[in-house]
């Protein structure tokens, strides 16, 4: 079921794209998404790189037979969940900003 | 026997779901996108059910049981990959597209060449992935259900997935995946608890056992620390292969067509986002528990027993048998089979949707349905053809075929062909049609070629390319192809329409409802 779309012809898209509100939304998103992406990529690839090229460090026992390699691998899960939680929180603000932009267009 | 009963109950339930869904799937959006009425938790479970394949449940448990820690590396990558989906792809895709991945690419680029290439790439990824699942299912059933032959099992899986998709569309597929996810999580939690109970709920004695796994190799008894990395990925190329695998997982998941189409089934981008987080909770919990499944099989059942009772893939079912007897063995085996069914149903609907929506309507008929309901009818016929082709190839390959490379290939193609063009089309104003077509083509060609000359196909000694996972080379090649071809040409209309795509993708203004 498609509801009729708001009138989006003409220069609406360009106007929104150059509006202060949209630029602020873009900046706010980038401030979260870019560092989060860089961090998780670096943190993730550190695991195969260290396990592959520095096995002697990663084989060190932390407690019992549990070694650094396993602790690091396990930490990836919690770090991924933490990043997801941080993004989820930040995104409620993006939703409000997006809604304001859409309302402004639809009220014309 | 018990496995058969539980399995038949699952089949009965899913056919009931299909009958229920078929009465609600009227119209194109209902058929392809479940009317966009799926809620966040439902889609989260469905994504998890779509994603956690037999390779996860049986394959990972087997690799950990035989090669210890290195198998757990797969588990890590399969979860972390969802951050790419969450942070970069899911929301813009939901806002800018309609039914397929190609919708986003066609938004501001010349639709026909872009859709034709994207549809080809979707069909390649989905079909290869599906054949791997079906060969696995056939071989599994032949061991689990005595008296059912490989060919019968493969044909049965094929017929069921076609029934779900043809009659129940996306709604039936979604609920089959949700049911499977609940069963898989339940079975895995039970199995993990039984493993811990075996060690008196003491992590110390569990990990002590993992540190001293005993098995025979070349007639000698070996005691090996299974927490030690490097038992699978050995020098000289092991480390590089591990990194290459990680790249294919991290960048490939966000390019898997059967995962991406799931985000069109929810009402808006916000729901898509929350559903990814639901999926991450389930998928993460599952992959952490592969620790207990795999190491449990290594310590409680042992490599020697598994090797003569069906091999690596039987590690989890044999563990269940050892800990819970025949009934639990039947339960876990039936779950393994349900897992495969839900995944192949997802693959079938994404492949047939792409053929009908991208190739038939938009490439051949220039974007217009000639008769109402034509697109859905074509999709149903395509699902039937996809099923027939997958059954035939799986039977031709036979139960002993080495199909692991097909999954590696699917992820490599998704990461090298699909992901670069999705990202560039969403975020690079200058990106154009030549870039998209070239990116898809070079990514696809590079992954296919490198797999063909890899150790998986040519054997370890004669391989021209030393790695089993081509991602480390093919992903940069895919990006390079897209960027170079873009810079060599100009397409002002694509650049002009970038603002429209960007505003729509970021705010949801004008998004399909």
Tell me if A1 and B27 make a contact (CB, 8 A cut-off).
yes
Residue A2 pLDDT class (50, 70, 90 cuts): very low
Angle, helices B150-198/B111-144, rounded to nearest 10 degrees:
70
Both tokens assigned to B122: 């979707």
Q: Three-state DSSP class for A63?
A: strand
**Burial class for A19, CB neighbours closer than 10 Å (0-12, 13-18, 19+):** middle
Write down the pLDDT at residue A27: 95
Q: Which site among A64, A86, A92, A105 would you substitute to test the B interface, given the most B Cβ atoms closer than 10 Å to its Cβ?
A: A64
Q: How far is A53 from chain B (nearest CA, A)?
A: 7
Which chain A residues have a beta carbon less than 8 Å from that of B242? 48, 51-52
Q: Across the strands, what pairs with B216?
A: B221
Percent of chain A scoring above 90 in pLDDT? 73
Angle between helices B150-198 and B203-211 (to 10 degrees): 120
DSSP A28-59: HHHHHHHHHHHHHHHHHHHHHHHHHH-HHHHT
Quick one: pLDDT at residue A4?
46
Per-residue confidence (pLDDT) for residue A42, from 0 to 100 = 97
Which residues of chain A lie closer than 8 angstroms to B500, CB-CB?
13, 17
Q: Which residues pair with A79 in a beta bridge?
A: none
Contact B510 A44 (CB under 8 A): no
Residues of A with CB below 8 A from B83's CB?
36-37, 40, 80, 83-84
| pTM of this structure | 0.94
Instruction: State both tokens at B256.
Output: 């898997």
Residues of B in contact with A107 (CB under 8 A): none
Residues of B in contact with A59 (CB under 8 A): 228-229
Mean pLDDT of A52-72: 92
The sign one gets for the Cα dihedral B492, B497, B501, B503 is positive
Residue A67 and residue B228: Cβ atoms within 8 Å? yes
User: Are B73 and A87 in contact (CB < 8 Å)?
Assistant: no
| Residue A3: predicted pLDDT | 44
Which ipTM was obtained for this model?
0.93
Residues in chain B: 513
Q: For residues B95 and B504, give the distance between their C-alpha atoms in angstroms, rounded to a whole number.
A: 6
3-state secondary structure of A66: strand
Residue A3 forms contact with B (CB below 8 Å): yes
Superfamily of domain B2-507: Sodium/glucose cotransporter (1.20.1730.10)
Binned average pLDDT, 10 residues per bin, chain B of 513 residues: 80 92 86 91 95 84 91 92 96 93 92 92 90 83 78 91 91 92 94 95 92 88 89 85 93 94 94 96 96 94 87 88 89 86 91 89 84 87 92 87 76 94 95 95 94 84 87 96 96 92 91 86
The residues, any chain, with a CB within 8 Å of residue B26's CB and separated by 6 or more, are none
What are A30's two structure tokens? 């980038």
* pLDDT classification of A8: cutoffs 50, 70, 90: low
Alpha-helix residue ranges (DSSP H) falling in B97-110: 102-106
Q: Give the pLDDT confidence score for residue A10 in this predicted structure.
A: 63
3-state DSSP assignment of residue A62 = strand
Residue A9 is predicted with a pLDDT of: 66
* Residues B434/B489, Cβ–Cβ less than 8 Å: yes
Does the structure show a pLDDT above 90 at A43?
yes
Q: Domain ranges for chain B, please list them.
A: 2-507
- Report whether pLDDT(A13) > 60: yes
CA distance B382 to B398: 24
Torsion of CA B300, B246, B85, B428, to 10 degrees: 180
Tell me what pLDDT residue B287 has: 95
SS (H, E, C) B206-246: HHHHHHCEEEEECCEEEEECCCCCCCCCCCCCHHHHHHHHH
Q: How many CA atoms lie within 13 A of B76 on its CB side?
A: 29
């Amino acid at each position: 079921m498609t509801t009729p779309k708001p009138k989006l012809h003409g220069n609406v898209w360009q106007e929104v794209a150059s509006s202060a509100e949209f630029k602020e939304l873009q900046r706010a998103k980038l401030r979260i998404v870019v560092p989060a992406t860089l961090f998780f990529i670096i943190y993730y690839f550190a695991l195969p790189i260290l396990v592959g090229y520095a096995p002697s460090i990663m084989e060190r026992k932390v407690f019992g037979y549990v070694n650094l390699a396993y602790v690091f691998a396990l930490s990836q899960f919690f770090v991924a969940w933490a990043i997801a939680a941080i993004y989820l929180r930040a995104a409620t603000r993006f939703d409000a900003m997006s809604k304001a932009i859409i309302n402004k267009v639809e009220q014309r | 026997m018990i496995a058969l009963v539980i399995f038949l109950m699952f089949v009965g339930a899913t056919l009931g779901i299909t009958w229920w869904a078929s009465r609600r799937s009227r119209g194109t959006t209902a058929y392809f996108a479940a009317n966009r009425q799926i809620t966040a938790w439902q889609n989260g479970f469905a994504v998890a059910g779509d994603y956690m394949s037999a390779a996860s449940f049986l394959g990972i448990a087997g690799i950990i049981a035989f090669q210890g820690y290195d198998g757990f590396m797969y588990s890590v990558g399969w979860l972390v990959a969802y951050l790419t989906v969450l942070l970069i792809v899911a929301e813009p895709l939901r806002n800018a597209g309609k039914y397929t991945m190609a919708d986003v690419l066609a938004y501001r680029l010349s639709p026909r060449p872009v859709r034709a290439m994207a549809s080809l790439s979707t069909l390649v990824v989905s079909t290869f992935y599906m054949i791997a699942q079906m060969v696995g299912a056939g071989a599994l059933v032949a061991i689990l259900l005595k008296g059912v032959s490989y060919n019968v099992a493969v044909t049965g899986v094929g017929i069921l997935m076609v029934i779900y998709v043809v009659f129940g569309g996306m709604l039936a597929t979604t609920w089959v995946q949700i049911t499977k996810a609940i069963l898989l999580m339940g079975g895995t939690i039970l199995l993990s608890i039984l493993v811990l109970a075996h060690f008196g709920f003491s992590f110390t004695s569990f990990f002590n056992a993992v540190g001293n796994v005993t098995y025979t190799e070349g007639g000698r008894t070996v005691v090996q620390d299974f927490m030690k990395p490097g038992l699978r990925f050995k020098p000289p190329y092991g480390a590089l292969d591990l990194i290459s695998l990680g790249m294919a997982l991290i960048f490939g998941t966000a390019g898997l067509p059967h995962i991406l189409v799931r985000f069109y089934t929810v009402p808006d981008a916000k729901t898509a986002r929350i559903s990814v987080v639901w999926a991450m909770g389930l998928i993460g919990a599952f992959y952490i528990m592969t620790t207990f499944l795999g190491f449990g099989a290594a310590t409680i059942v042992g490599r020697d027993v598994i090797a003569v009772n069906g091999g690596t893939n039987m590690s989890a079912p044999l563990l269940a048998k050892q800990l819970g007897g025949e009934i639990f063995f039947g339960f876990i085996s039936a779950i393994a089979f349900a897992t495969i069914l839900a995944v192949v149903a997802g693959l079938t609907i994404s492949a047939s949707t792409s053929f009908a929506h991208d190739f038939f309507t938009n490439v051949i008929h220039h974007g217009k349905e000639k008769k109402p309901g034509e697109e859905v009818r074509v999709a149903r016929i395509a699902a039937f053809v996809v099923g027939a082709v997958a059954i035939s190839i799986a039977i031709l390959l036979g139960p002993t075929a080495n199909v692991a490379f097909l999954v590696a290939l699917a992820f490599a193609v998704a990461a090298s062909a699909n992901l670069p063009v999705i990202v560039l089309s969403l975020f690079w104003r200058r990106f154009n049609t030549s870039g998209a077509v070239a990116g898809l083509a070079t990514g696809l060609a590079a992954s296919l070629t490198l797999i063909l000359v890899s150790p998986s196909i040519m054997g370890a000694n004669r391989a021209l390319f030393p790695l089993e996972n081509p991602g480390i080379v093919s992903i940069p090649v895919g990006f390079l192809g897209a960027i170079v071809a873009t810079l060599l040409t100009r397409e002002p209309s694509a650049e002009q329409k970038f603002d429209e795509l960007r505003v729509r993708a970021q705010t949801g203004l004008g998004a399909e409802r």
